[in-house]
Amino acid sequence: MYKLSLALALAFPLITFSQDSISPAGQPDSSNYVSSYADSIQKEDIKRMSERSANYFANLLRERRVREKKQAILYIAMGVFFLAVLIVGLLRKRKKTQ
């Protein structure tokens, strides 16, 4: 038990106080700058693509609404036309029977 606690007491500070990829001068490595620059560019590209896709999706929805509205107006106009044809046909039929 004593050896285990001693090993943990010696290993714990090594793990917690270790430094990740920092040069002795205190400056980060140049590879970190390159990777952070690439990450920022990638984040900007992702943001730009998401904005484009959102705008594209909004435009598709607008176009679909316009098409549906035109189609609804056409269906209503056709319904009114055929109702008028039905009424005219029924009135003509009545006149012939008298």
Query: So where are the chain's domains?
Result: 29-97
Structure tokens at 30: 């140049």
10 pLDDT band (50/70/90 cuts)? confident
In the block, tokens 């005219």 appear at 88
| pTM reported for the whole predicted model | 0.45
User: What pLDDT score does 64 carry?
Assistant: 95
Structure tokens at 91: 């009135």
20-45 residue pLDDT tens = 555 555 555 556 666 777 777 888 88
88 sits in which H/E element: helix 30-97
Cα distance between residue 39 and residue 25, in whole Å: 24
42-72 residue pLDDT tens = 888 888 888 888 888 889 999 999 999 999 9
